Chains A and B, each alone.
Chain A
């Protein structure tokens, strides 16, 4: 019989080895740093799962190139956007996690005391780029300075199915929200309803802010502390929503997540949605014939003009980060014209630059379906307007207060009661200020 010559360690050897390893690990942990051979700077960046995945691919490519040039590693982690607030909260609470992250909405205000001031890098990048759009700048400027740097914004145009509109006898898409209501009633009868989410998703609020501002309604007064939702203007907005829900939409809008309206227009059933250009990009990427029928137009307006609340994404660096300077260098690198241009191209026009010089990119002019998108910047405000962005605004969005107010009303609650309910919820959201350490 042939025996295999396996070297079985003795108990003594095993104990010696494990004790050595444990001691090594203990010294590593006690010193708080890895042994010399394992030391290579690693910058970690938490972002969202981009709605155009190629954009994340390009971001990782640039991160890798930056890492090679600076003898470090840049790790880009991405996750679903709706899960980000809780992940960020956990990192803020534990004072550990990524070095930098993609902030959204009023995060710089929510975590003002936990993010580093970025005035130096903002000034440097801003000068090179011809200045920031005011709505993007306002969302990052806190009382204690720039707590994030605007990264990109996402236009929120009307997206419509040209074939359905043509069949219904409409020459052009709606220019106002009232016109959308009129056209929607006809389109629904034709079997092609319109769709605006009235549910727990961020698109529901993006549209609500837009509709309310166009009607002249507010959520907060300019002081940022006084709820301003109970008004005749808001009542008109709610009545408009009720009419639209009953006569131009299907009840499914009450259950949509952020991808609901995308699926709705891509299924061929829907005729109009208020959404970024991701459905069109998805149709192109998947070679769906419906891409030929989909087109975009500027967000509708109302008696108070055209207004929009585009999602506005920035980058913030945690105070607990050990790589603050490296993070700043990485940000400057991302804003280099050739890099930002490549990133816009990868997103197929989804990512809009917050800097005026970078906005002059041929991608929007090349495709007539994108031509009007940069104009959206003219109508944009940070959420909360006329109040300045604040952590209260963030909480109003996080708790889906306006979406619920409208949902209550379309489900039969009297308009006045729905407004009173929202007023109470907004008062609660305004209560409790973060204490700057």
Chain B
């Protein structure tokens, strides 16, 4: 039954003021809920949605820096597909992501298992492990640049002193295979802590009873990991692989600082080539097309990964 003005009058109560009515309206669950997420939506639309929309528009236009262009449809995409440098970049990106991701998965799980043990100075060690992830990438990559320098490479110097290689040692940033190995190494070094810490969080949720039961049943340590631990951390692993795939595909700093896409474009990734073509070369349309080229594939990866996580 509605409480109208006559009821309030009979009860000797005053009608609620405008402020009270406003508060009552605001505190309705569906209004309040949406109200709380509006700032986040505004932020996302402004900082992510708008630039993304602009990038799509650029990629479909012959837009040059400072010169608004007209709609050209898929011309930019057709042009870049016909460009050998771009095809090389596609190959580089898959090689780079494939190898770096595999290493991060294997080493990340292994490192997480180590960190999960009852070590002395556990907290200190975990803090140290996180360091590569905390230091700004451009800064740490500059240190790697020196380590791989053709004249003063500390990597080569150490290996030569230990008689592992003969002088002068590999030309890390000047030969295609070595340069790819160098950028992958730095990417793995930097991404490993993120992997390890997230997987460690997953490991913490594995009930001890399961592992003990498996041990009583005679399962080896590998068997316990394979049949008990891995299935239980699979959802966490799926999420971290998803994030890492996107981060690795979109890497920019490491390649830009170490090789600038060289030698002979053999380490160019989508982001570095887009930067070179779009910003340095002024061809924003083509630069946007290069950077968005991988988007449909990544969107599919995200879709299937998230569906898998939900099912799990």
Chain A residues within 8 Å of B202, by CB = none
Contact present for B150 and A252 (CB under 8 Å): yes
Whether B259 is near chain A, meaning CB under 8 Å from some CB there, is yes
Contact present for B150 and A428 (CB under 8 Å): no
Instruction: Mark interface residues in B189-202 (1 if CB within 8 Å of A CB, else 0).
Output: 00000000000000
Whether B65 is near chain A, meaning CB under 8 Å from some CB there, is yes
Neighbour of B275 across the interface among A86, A201, A257, A264, CB < 8 A: A86
- Report the minimal beta-carbon distance from B200 to chain A, rounded to whole angstroms: 37
User: Which positions 59-114 of chain B face chain A at CB distance < 8 Å?
Assistant: 62, 64-67, 69, 79, 83-85
Contact present for A404 and B264 (CB under 8 Å): yes
Chain A residues within 8 Å of B83, by CB = 424-425, 428
Chain A residues within 8 Å of B62, by CB = 432
- Report the minimal beta-carbon distance from B48 to chain A, rounded to whole angstroms: 18
Instruction: Mark interface residues in A387-402 (1 if CB within 8 Å of B CB, else 0).
Output: 0000100110011100
Whether B172 is near chain A, meaning CB under 8 Å from some CB there, is yes
Whether A373 is near chain B, meaning CB under 8 Å from some CB there, is no
Chain A residues within 8 Å of B171, by CB = 250-252, 254-255
Contact present for B174 and A254 (CB under 8 Å): yes
- Report the minimal beta-carbon distance from B249 to chain A, rounded to whole angstroms: 21
Chain B residues within 8 Å of A199, by CB = 174, 262-263
**Most chain-B Cβ atoms within 10 A of its Cβ — which of A95, A200, A395, A408?**
A200
Contact present for B64 and A252 (CB under 8 Å): no
**Main SS of the interface on chain A?**
helix
Whether B179 is near chain A, meaning CB under 8 Å from some CB there, is yes
User: Which positions 236-295 of chain A face chain B at CB distance < 8 Å?
Assistant: 250-257, 260, 263-264, 267, 269
A113 to B263, CA, bound (A): 34
Contact present for A89 and B262 (CB under 8 Å): no
Whether A15 is near chain B, meaning CB under 8 Å from some CB there, is no
User: Which positions 260-311 of chain B face chain A at CB distance < 8 Å?
Assistant: 260-265, 275-284
Instruction: Mark interface residues in A74-89 (1 if CB within 8 Å of B CB, else 0).
Output: 0000000010011001
Whether B183 is near chain A, meaning CB under 8 Å from some CB there, is no
A398 to B79, CA, bound (A): 18
Chain A residues within 8 Å of B265, by CB = 404
Count chain A residues whose beta carbon lies closer than 8 angstroms to a beta carbon of B. 47
By beta carbon, the residue of chain A nearest B264 is A407
A231 to B271, CA, bound (A): 34
Contact present for B262 and A407 (CB under 8 Å): yes
Contact present for B67 and A435 (CB under 8 Å): yes
Contact present for B151 and A255 (CB under 8 Å): no
Contact present for A398 and B67 (CB under 8 Å): no
Whether A137 is near chain B, meaning CB under 8 Å from some CB there, is no
Contact present for B174 and A114 (CB under 8 Å): no
- Report the minimal beta-carbon distance from B143 to chain A, rounded to whole angstroms: 15
Chain B residues within 8 Å of A93, by CB = 65-66, 284
Contact present for A250 and B150 (CB under 8 Å): yes
- Report the minimal beta-carbon distance from B31 to chain A, rounded to whole angstroms: 25
Instruction: Mark interface residues in B37-71 (1 if CB within 8 Å of A CB, else 0).
Output: 00000000000000000000000001011110100
A267 to B172, CA, bound (A): 19
- Given contacts A254-B174, A408-B264, are A267 and B151 in contact (CB under 8 A)? yes
Chain A residues within 8 Å of B260, by CB = 82, 200-201, 257
Contact present for A251 and B175 (CB under 8 Å): yes
User: Which positions 227-268 of chain B face chain A at CB distance < 8 Å?
Assistant: 259-265
Contact present for B179 and A255 (CB under 8 Å): yes
Contact present for A432 and B66 (CB under 8 Å): no
Contact present for A92 and B65 (CB under 8 Å): yes
Chain A residues within 8 Å of B85, by CB = 399, 404, 425
Chain B residues within 8 Å of A424, by CB = 83-84
Neighbour of A113 across the interface among B67, B261, B284, CB < 8 A: B67
- Report the minimal beta-carbon distance from A250 to chain B, rounded to whole angstroms: 7
Whether A48 is near chain B, meaning CB under 8 Å from some CB there, is no
A391 to B278, CA, bound (A): 14
- Given contacts A93-B284, A425-B85, are A255 and B262 in contact (CB under 8 A)? yes
Contact present for B283 and A395 (CB under 8 Å): yes
Chain B residues within 8 Å of A429, by CB = 281
Neighbour of A428 across the interface among B64, B79, B259, CB < 8 A: B79
A82 to B176, CA, bound (A): 22
A133 to B173, CA, bound (A): 39
- Report the minimal beta-carbon distance from A245 to chain B, rounded to whole angstroms: 11
User: Which positions 125-151 of chain B face chain A at CB distance < 8 Å?
Assistant: 149-151
Instruction: Mark interface residues in A185-215 (1 if CB within 8 Å of B CB, else 0).
Output: 0000000000000011100000000000000
Neighbour of B279 across the interface among A90, A250, A269, A408, CB < 8 A: A90
A95 to B67, CA, bound (A): 11
Chain B residues within 8 Å of A408, by CB = 264
By beta carbon, the residue of chain B nearest A318 is B66
Contact present for A437 and B262 (CB under 8 Å): no
A263 to B152, CA, bound (A): 10
Chain A residues within 8 Å of B66, by CB = 92-93, 95, 111, 113-114, 434
- Report the minimal beta-carbon distance from A356 to chain B, rounded to whole angstroms: 33
Whether A411 is near chain B, meaning CB under 8 Å from some CB there, is yes
Task: Enumerate chain A interface residues (CB-CB to B < 8 A).
Answer: 82, 85-86, 89-90, 92-93, 95, 110-111, 113-114, 199-201, 250-257, 260, 263-264, 267, 269, 391, 394-395, 398-400, 404, 407-408, 411, 421, 424-425, 428-429, 432, 434-435, 437
Q: What would be 18 A-B contacts, judged by CB atoms less than 8 Å apart?
A: A89-B280, A92-B65, A93-B65, A93-B284, A114-B66, A200-B261, A250-B150, A250-B168, A252-B171, A256-B150, A269-B151, A398-B276, A399-B277, A432-B64, A432-B283, A434-B67, A435-B69, A437-B67
Top 4 A-B pairs, shortest CB-CB distance: A252-B150, A255-B174, A254-B174, A255-B173
Task: Enumerate chain B interface residues (CB-CB to A < 8 A).
Answer: 62, 64-67, 69, 79, 83-85, 149-152, 168, 171-176, 179, 259-265, 275-284
Q: Can you add 16 more A-B contacts, CB < 8 Å, to A200-B260, A434-B67?
A: A89-B278, A90-B279, A93-B66, A111-B66, A251-B171, A252-B171, A254-B262, A255-B259, A391-B282, A395-B282, A411-B264, A424-B83, A424-B84, A432-B283, A435-B64, A435-B69
